[in-house]
Amino acid sequence: MSEPTRPSRPARHGRAVRFTAGLAVLLGLVAYVTVHYVTGSKGAPRCTIGSGSNRYEFTPEQASNAATIAAVGTGRGLPERAVTIALATALQESGLRNIEHGDRDSLGLFQQRPSMGWGTPEQILDPVYSSGKFYEGLEKVPGYSRLPLTVAAQKVQRSGFPQAYAKHEPDATLLSAALTGRAPAALACTADVREGRPGDPSRVRAELIRAFGEETAPKGVTAGAGAAGADAATPPAVELSVPVRPTGARRDQRGWELAQWAVARADDLRIAEVSYGDRTWIADDASGDWTPAGPHATDGSTVRLRLAR
């Protein structure tokens, strides 16, 4: 009987290399999970509205665009139904992303076409402009607020697939309730503002005015207290006080509209904290939820913003 054939040295070496590589990957995965568990990492920034089966989760980019669409609608004095129609349309056309491509020359949130008179490519890729053009078309539709959403949207868009708008109505309804302020503290977001560029108060001011008008121009810029344990070189936090108008019954809804707009735009505008009434939202809170404001409570006449530094 012949002796069993022994594996060659190269084969044994190959198995050893594969084992070592596999072990390295496994150890790396264990280290990653351990670090994220111990540090409580919150992962990629995200936003949510609603709960359970009635829940919509989206990215900060989508939240920012949705907030702009809503602000432009209310800035024109339009009802919440108009905002719902606009949001459902943008969800279908672009997924609430300001895309630079589409069918033929379609562009932007609403996939509007320069060749069809919607504006120049640069204009259409401006979310404020494109939202305004959509509402301009919607306002020309008689009784649009009483029409089925698909019918109202189709009269503006002239889509080849008009029934597709219907499936987005539940999510658009959740979004519009929060972003018009009717549903207080309904928008939960996380944003990573611990590193990177500081917030620019002049840019926040300009974006507020573009979306809502001059009445929302912050009253002033103040330097807040530094973070606990910060060294002398750490600059103080910059805070803005955004006035809430009108007064009376609609003031609270307007306040929440402004506050939740700021949360939705926090990742882009580098907003680290938002306070309105007795609630505060903090970017670094892993839950993304609103919490009791404590010493940062406002009297309801302003929304307080603290920018990243």
At 71, is the pLDDT very low, low, confident or very high (cuts 50, 70, 90)?
Answer: very high
The length of the chain, given as a count of residues: 309
pLDDT on residue 34: 35
Q: What percent of the chain has pLDDT above 70?
A: 82
Q: Is the peptide bond prior to 246 cis by the omega test (within 30 degrees of 0)?
A: yes
User: For residue 35, is pLDDT > 50?
Assistant: no
pTM here is 0.81
Q: What is the pLDDT of residues 208-258, one digit of tens each?
A: 999 999 999 998 777 765 443 344 456 677 999 999 988 777 899 999 999
**Residue 140 vs residue 22, higher pLDDT:** 140
**Residue 124 vs residue 24, higher pLDDT:** 124
pLDDT on residue 88: 97
Mean residue pLDDT of the chain comes to: 84
Burial letters 126-148, b for 16+ CB under 10 A, else e: bbbbbbbbbbebbeebeebeebe
User: For residue 206, is pLDDT > 90?
Assistant: yes
pLDDT on residue 294: 87
pLDDT on residue 76: 93
CA dihedral 190, 194, 200, 205 (to 10 degrees): 20
At 36, is the pLDDT very low, low, confident or very high (cuts 50, 70, 90)?
Answer: very low
Amino acid at position 251, single letter: R
**Residue 206 vs residue 196, higher pLDDT:** 206
Cβ distance 258 to 179 under 8 Å? no
At 43, is the pLDDT very low, low, confident or very high (cuts 50, 70, 90)?
Answer: low
pLDDT on residue 18: 53
Among 32-36, 43-47, 70-74, the range scoring the smallest mean pLDDT is: 32-36
Amino acid at position 85, single letter: I
pLDDT on residue 15: 54
pLDDT on residue 247: 73
Cβ distance 200 to 270 under 8 Å? yes
